[in-house]
Amino acid sequence: MAEATIGSDTAQHSLKRVIGRRVLLLFVVGDILGAGIYALVGKVAGYVGGALWLPFLVAFVLAALTATAYAELVGKYPQAAGAALYANKAFNIPFLTFVVAFAVLMSGITSASAAARAFGGKYLGEFVTLPVVAGAFIFLALVTLVNLAGISESIKVNVVLTVIEALGLVVIIVIGIYALLAGDGEPARALEFHPVNGAFLGVLGGTALAFYALLGFEDSVNLAEESKDPQRDFPRALFGGLAIAALIYLAVAFTATMLVDTETLTTSTGPLLEVVKVAGFAFPPKLFALIALLAVGNTALINMIMASRLVYGMAREGIVPKVFASVHATRATPWVAILFTTAIAVVLVATGDVGNLADTTVLLLLLVFALVNVAVLVLRRDPVGHDHYRAPSWMPALGAVVCLVLALPITGRGADVYVRAGLLLAVGVVLWFLNRLFLSERERSS
């Protein structure tokens, strides 16, 4: 039951436990797939050359380390709020908890904003020419309506879009198989390794960028309170989703580099569309462009669902004003939180671009992941009265180190990304002190 007591609306209504294991697995897969692979596969090639599958493989291995920490923590504490909740329980420092929550919140919104901006690229250009910002605003409005409709409706839309975006990647894989059987393409190009700034830094930079394509497990954790059996379902969904996405990504990366030269992949805003256009059999480019647009839409929907549930969870923990814990009486959705996160996304879409927003998302989450890996070890001192998954201690320990390394400038990340992330966190700090001041004044007047 919801613990917040802002009027009858919040006190009498709570989030519904309606998400089963299979749907949760699709949610994880759907969030990992999408905008990242459809838009960034060519950019990764710019770091390593034809062997662009290598950074994706390394990224998946490294992401699995952090996934073990999340699998343990969500089983112990199956509540909304995710990383913020874990930081609060592990360190009990309200300011740190807020910064973590705000970083995760902004990473979800920056990711959705990047997806919205990507909506107006080469894939949309197959149908109509619109200003990128106008298309992004229309896109955000549709995502918001689905989110407001209810979690059941949102998840159903997510399932449909997940199937569609997976179908698009299957098309790419089939094209690859056909090309191999027909003797087309250049399979040897997948072994061409031309890293930027040396092998280590080249792979490191490509891996840091590839991380954007597989951040779904952080989003799914924030649906714990709406899952039927989180202790059993989340570990299976997390690891199963990562494994499925890894196999798909590696096959897609191999096909892309086999059929399209590295320079074309690197410069294209629709790299997988380039693959379709050179395929040995006819597949309508417009149909694939539509699939890509829906995949990008799925990424934005999932991120906005996560962001609104995170604000809701923060409000229940007393970190932000209780009004954000308000749940709609009939739709059972955190409507105030949804409108708030949408407003932030509108500002980001109007002021940012795809590259900066994607890089900012990765940087913020890498810092959060490092803290979560430490938190899971600290919280071993806090046993709970139910069974749950327990991660091997070395995995989250190594995961913390890896995340900090990937957050360093040696990956080739631009200084503007660090400035943007710093400014976003600075906004959070200002909100924190304003909230504390408001609470103090209210206490004095009561």
pLDDT above 60: residue 2: no
Residue range 338-345: mean pLDDT, rounded: 89
Q: Would you state the pLDDT for residue 443?
A: 56
| Weakest mean pLDDT among 105-109, 237-241, 279-283 | 279-283
Q: Which two tokens stand for residue 167?
A: 């179908």
Q: pLDDT digit string (tens) for 119-128?
A: 777 778 788 8
Confidence band, pLDDT 50/70/90 cuts, at residue 219: low
Confidence band, pLDDT 50/70/90 cuts, at residue 442: low
Q: CA triplet 285, 286, 290: central angle to 5 degrees?
A: 115
Count CB neighbours of 330 within 10 A.
7
Specify whether the CB–CB gap between 272 and 75 falls below 8 A. no
The three-class DSSP label of residue 19 is strand
Q: Please provide the average confidence, as pLDDT, over all residues in the chain.
A: 81
Confidence band, pLDDT 50/70/90 cuts, at residue 6: very low
Q: Would you state the pLDDT for residue 412?
A: 80
Q: What percent of the chain has pLDDT over 70?
A: 88
Q: Which residues, at least 6 apart from 311, have a Cβ–Cβ distance to it below 8 Å?
A: 105, 320, 324, 334, 337, 340, 341
Residue range 76-82: mean pLDDT, rounded: 74
Q: What percent of the chain has pLDDT over 90?
A: 15
pLDDT above 60: residue 86: yes
| Weakest mean pLDDT among 54-68, 114-128, 395-409, 414-428 | 114-128
More confident: 153 or 182: 182
pLDDT above 50: residue 104: yes
pTM: predicted TM-score of the whole model, two decimal places: 0.80
Residue range 141-152: mean pLDDT, rounded: 78
Residue range 319-332: mean pLDDT, rounded: 74
Q: Would you state the pLDDT for residue 182?
A: 85
pLDDT winner (highest mean) among 11-15, 30-34, 95-99, 391-395: 391-395
How is the chain split among helix, strand and coil, in percent rounded to 5? 75, 0, 20
Which class for 281: exposed (0-12), middle (13-18), buried (19 or more C-beta within 10 A)? exposed
Distance (Å) of CA 296 to CA 33, 291, 293, 346, 428: 9, 9, 5, 17, 27
pLDDT above 50: residue 60: yes
Residue range 241-245: mean pLDDT, rounded: 88
Q: Looking at the structure, give the CATH architecture of the domain made up of residues 7-440.
A: Up-down Bundle (1.20)
Residue range 24-48: mean pLDDT, rounded: 79
pLDDT winner (highest mean) among 121-125, 325-329, 369-373, 422-426: 369-373
Q: Would you state the pLDDT for residue 368?
A: 93
Q: Would you state the pLDDT for residue 395?
A: 95
Confidence band, pLDDT 50/70/90 cuts, at residue 227: confident
